[in-house]
Amino acid sequence: MDNLKISNYIQHLRKAAGLTQKELAEKLNISFQAVSKWETGESLPDTGILLELSDILGTSVDKLLSGGAIVANERRLMRLDDVKTGFEHLEDIGRLFGENCTFYTGMIEGINEKMNMDILTYLKDPMTREVMYAEVLIQGILEGRTVDIEEIEADFQNKHMVEVIRKYLEKTNV
């Protein structure tokens, strides 16, 4: 990603929408300094607000993260079964290496610190496990991948998460 290109695009869209940095910040419940940092290329918007930011600025997340360029490359399909298998393999490492193995505990501690969660607890509950599947799918969508929404609808119990994934798909489609 080209931070300068993205920063110029955000500034252009904000001004075209007739918003000041402060007004945009208020709509997003963040500081105007954060908006200023985006527009100078010092930082990028947090993934948690990309959908709302793109809505306010009248663009897609895909175009926002490409600095306004239309992304023409083919989107790779993420399969839900592959995401599930990934989490199963994560658990397998603990069983295969031993839950006290430094490699395994370091991996789990790293995930917990990065994600600010207790992944082993979340994996035990089917509902929070499904939320983690959704998080991985959404991260993939934000990186330019796609999912089969019908596959997600057929498998997910949490219909709210299906709608969140659908919204990300819609916002990132060119």
d(CA 118, CA 133) in angstroms, rounded, equals: 15
> 72 in a domain, yes or no?
no
Do 138 and 105 sit in the same domain of this protein? yes
> 45 in a domain, yes or no?
yes
| pLDDT tens, residue by residue, 38-84 | 999 899 898 889 989 999 998 888 888 888 875 555 568 999 999 99
Do 57 and 88 sit in the same domain of this protein? no
| pLDDT tens, residue by residue, 98-131 | 999 999 999 999 999 988 999 999 999 999 999 9
What CATH number is associated with residue 39? 1.10.260.40
> 71 in a domain, yes or no?
no
Do 86 and 167 sit in the same domain of this protein? yes
d(CA 142, CA 97) in angstroms, rounded, equals: 33
Domain boundary among 13, 40, 65: 65
Domain boundary among 65, 97, 113: 65
> 61 in a domain, yes or no?
yes
Identify the pLDDT of residue 31.
Answer: 92
> 153 in a domain, yes or no?
yes
Do 37 and 82 sit in the same domain of this protein? no
Give pTM, 2 decimals: 0.58
Question: Residue 35 belongs to what domain range?
Answer: 3-65
Structure confidence at residue 86 as a pLDDT band (50, 70, 90): very high
Do 91 and 158 sit in the same domain of this protein? yes
Do 87 and 163 sit in the same domain of this protein? yes
Do 47 and 88 sit in the same domain of this protein? no
In the chain, alpha helices (H): 3-16, 21-28, 32-40, 50-57, 61-65, 80-97, 102-115, 119-124, 126-142, 149-155, 159-172
Do 133 and 48 sit in the same domain of this protein? no
Do 89 and 28 sit in the same domain of this protein? no
Tally of domains in the chain: 2
